[in-house]
Amino acid sequence: MGRTGSSAGLIVFGFVLGLLLAPYILPSLNAPAPTQPIVGEGGVVIIEDSQYPGTVAPLIRAANESVYVIMFVMKYDPGDSDDPVNDLLSLLASAAQRGVDVRVLVDEETRDSYPQTIGFLKEHGISVRLDKSSGITTHAKVVIVDGKYVVIGSHNWTESALRYNHEVSALIRSGKAAEELTNYFERLWGEGRAV
């Protein structure tokens, strides 16, 4: 029974292990490809590390009504043609050109450290504001698209965050979550300062 018994035991062990891990493995297998991150109502897709640009870019590209962004740090780097932040910013500019309401709220860290980002956004017709006071840090990282999709998590719009760091965010399709975060965005926007 030695060899047959241990083979059968190994098969049973593998089956049980598969049942235990299935809830963690199957959702990732069914997760949309980075170029197609559209999920059903109430669906959530976890965005790890460098998956962020490939998940967020199609949302901005497909936006019809609005793209609202709250971001602690955005770093436009005109000297780097391979920077994923430049690609996301270009998509915001394209959305604004086609009539989508694109607004960006950033912390002073972006204005002070990366003024070229503010310049790029304004040159492309995108409204930009700072939070209400230099005594407040706006550390949120949120993108709301068309009142349906929310991306929220740890990713700043910097090359290091989008390419090299360990970061995690979530794409959520929920009208209710989008409405609540849009209200939050509008409150910060209304209190915000012109750049």
Fold of 35-194: Endonuclease; Chain A (3.30.870)
pTM of the model: 0.79
What are the 10-residue block averages of pLDDT along the chain, 195 residues in total?
52 48 42 47 89 97 98 95 96 98 97 97 97 94 98 98 97 96 98 95
Domain borders along the chain are 1-30, 35-194
DSSP string, the chain: -HHHHHHHHHHHHHHHHHHHHHHHHHHHHHSPPTT-----TT-EEEEEGGGHHHHHHHHHHH-SSEEEEEES-B---TT-TT-HHHHHHHHHHHHHHTT-EEEEEE-HHHHHH-HHHHHHHHHTT-EEEE-S-TT-----EEEEETTTEEEEES--BSHIIIIIS--EEEEEE-HHHHHHHHHHHHHHHHH-EE-
